[in-house]
Amino acid sequence: MFLDVLCCNMTQTFRIKGLGGKKILSGELSPHGAKNAVLKVLAATALFSESIEISNIPDIEDVNSMILLLEKSGFFIKRLGARRLVCQPPRKTAARINTDIAKKLRASIVLTGPFLSRYGKISFPHPGGCVIGERPIDLFLSAFQKIGARVSRNKDYYTINAPKNGLRGANIFFENISVTATETLMLAAILARGETILSNCAMEPEIKYLAEFLNSCGARITGAGTPTICVIGGELLRNTKNIVYKTPPDRIETGSFLILGALCARDVTIKNCIPEHAASTIAILERMGVSLNIGKNYIKITNDFSGKGKKHFLATGVKTHEYPGFPTDLQALMTVFLTQASGEALVFETIFEGRLNYIELLNRMGARITSMDQHRILVKGPTPLRGRKLESPDLRAGLAYVIAALVAKGTSFIHNANYIDRGYEKIDERLREIGADIERV
């Protein structure tokens, strides 16, 4: 099943008919379950003595890849429909992460923590994923050594062994704030002897949500969602109350739809979302003049250009930052927004050194973006965009091109649509529902 999904996606292209700057999309969009939440709870199932049920799963390729990785390690996964599954971890496993799949999936690295602490050993390749920088794993390797594991490396392949009597708790300071390193070590510490204190942790809401679920199954984690997480190690987790992990709505989808709506919509409502998780994006868009009506679990975007003179948004500088700051995953989309705002603005990508590789094609569409260095670009707007052939370099820049194509005048073709499918479920169908002229060819 997985391979034929992969093959059919390889030749996918989106054809998009641009709106030529008109803001006429209208209707409702709902974010699906968060990719970067569900991939980690799938890894965490290794810490349980029995099966775990997960719901509100997004139907995206990265989830299929993670499921395949687990099945190849002896996990039994039963699908209960498109968005639900039960995952039963094995008592023993060879704990070798499949190279071909791990090379496509950065989240595969999160398996190392629970596998090491449950099965005592893990062999894996340097993880793959979006080409947005070097993406080292030094924080993981040095932290594993701190909790007593032995790390050996053969070129691009690592083998890590826990001591015979298991991992022991330690004080770990992350020199860089890393989302997956925080999650991986939090999971490893659950079966380590004694107390583990993780400092300078990432504070993404998915981390807090995961810790709360694990605590309801017997884990003893405090501080998740703050810079300091403390874990008291213990036995395998047991889901005695049969709690189902319900994947939270994807805050990056919510932010993506906000930017799309601000640029192309007459009125679009994002439903079943958590506005607080998009606070940084909301603050930036409102600062630039976007009118948003924010409810408990919805955000309504209205653009009222009823002929009272063309009103442009006012460009202001944007800097990416770890949560709760402006997310790097929305950086490319915000650049597209700035091409349509009045004025000059600096976009400062502070987290990844290779995440500005999409600007050339935007300039060929008519944008005026100047590269300052590998972390900063200067965007001058507003500039009308013209449709053209585009090739998405990664998942998030791919969606930025979709938005640019919708803003543009004329037709665009976006190749490598499978990159976009990795993180946005059936995005073409969902955008058609609000009036976008987009189809797979």
Least distance to ligand EPZ from the beta carbon of 35, Å? 6
Least distance to ligand EPZ from the beta carbon of 241, Å? 27
- CA–CA dist 430, 428 (Å, integer): 5
Asked if 227 is part of the footprint of ligand EPZ (rule: CB under 6 A), the reply reads no
Nearer to ligand EPZ, 180 or 303 (CB): 180
Asked if 396 is part of the footprint of ligand EPZ (rule: CB under 6 A), the reply reads yes
Asked if 293 is part of the footprint of ligand EPZ (rule: CB under 6 A), the reply reads no
Nearer to ligand EPZ, 139 or 436 (CB): 139
The torsion region of residue 431 among left (phi > 0), alpha (psi -120 to 50) and beta comes to alpha
Least distance to ligand EPZ from the beta carbon of 173, Å? 13
Residue 58 CB partners (closer than 8 Å, separation 6+): 32, 33, 34, 35, 38, 83, 247, 250, 425
State the pairing for strand pair 291-294/299-302: antiparallel
Asked if 198 is part of the footprint of ligand EPZ (rule: CB under 6 A), the reply reads no
Nearer to ligand EPZ, 376 or 432 (CB): 376
- Looking at the DSSP bridge assignments, the partners of residue 437 are 17
Is the CB of residue 404 less than 8 Å from the CB of residue 21? Answer: no
DSSP readout, 399-437?
HHHHHHHHHSBSEEEEE-HHHHHTTSTTHHHHHHTTT-E
Segment 313 to 332, residues that bind ligand EPZ, using CB under 6 A: 328-329
Nearer to ligand EPZ, 262 or 400 (CB): 400
Instruction: State the DSSP code for 246.
Output: E
Nearer to ligand EPZ, 180 or 412 (CB): 180
Query: Burial of 363 by CB count in 10 Å (0-12 exposed, 13-18 middle, 19+ buried)?
Result: middle
Instruction: State the DSSP code for 120.
Output: S
Which candidate in 130, 201, 217, 264 is catalytic? 130
Asked if 131 is part of the footprint of ligand EPZ (rule: CB under 6 A), the reply reads no
Asked if 176 is part of the footprint of ligand EPZ (rule: CB under 6 A), the reply reads yes
Asked if 136 is part of the footprint of ligand EPZ (rule: CB under 6 A), the reply reads yes
**The token pair that represents 86 in the structure block:** 């039960």
Segment 90 to 119, residues that bind ligand EPZ, using CB under 6 A: 106-107
Nearer to ligand EPZ, 214 or 341 (CB): 214
**Can you tell me which residue has the tokens 């060819």?**
441
Asked if 130 is part of the footprint of ligand EPZ (rule: CB under 6 A), the reply reads yes
Is the CB of residue 7 less than 8 Å from the CB of residue 150? Answer: no
Nearer to ligand EPZ, 200 or 216 (CB): 200
**Can you tell me which residue has the tokens 């009272």?**
308
State the pairing for strand pair 343-348/318-319: parallel
**The token pair that represents 136 in the structure block:** 């080292």
Asked if 392 is part of the footprint of ligand EPZ (rule: CB under 6 A), the reply reads no
**The binder of ligand EPZ chosen from 73, 93, 178, 331 (CB under 6 A):** 178
The CA–CA distances, whole Å, from 364 to 112, 356, 370, 389 equal: 42, 15, 12, 10
DSSP readout, 90-107?
-SS---B--HHHHTT-GG
Asked if 137 is part of the footprint of ligand EPZ (rule: CB under 6 A), the reply reads yes
Binding mask 417-436 for ligand EPZ (x = CB under 6 A): ------x-------------
Asked if 410 is part of the footprint of ligand EPZ (rule: CB under 6 A), the reply reads no
User: How many residues of this chain bind ligand EPZ (CB under 6 A)?
Assistant: 26
Helix H or strand E encompassing 381:
strand 376-381
Least distance to ligand EPZ from the beta carbon of 188, Å? 14
**The binder of ligand EPZ chosen from 59, 100, 138, 439 (CB under 6 A):** 138
Least distance to ligand EPZ from the beta carbon of 322, Å? 7
Nearer to ligand EPZ, 14 or 352 (CB): 352
Q: Active-site residue 130, yes or no? A: yes
Catalytic residues: 130
Q: Which residues of this protein are in contact with ligand EPZ, per CB under 6 A?
A: 35-36, 39, 106-107, 130, 133, 135-140, 176, 178-181, 202, 328-329, 351-352, 395-396, 423
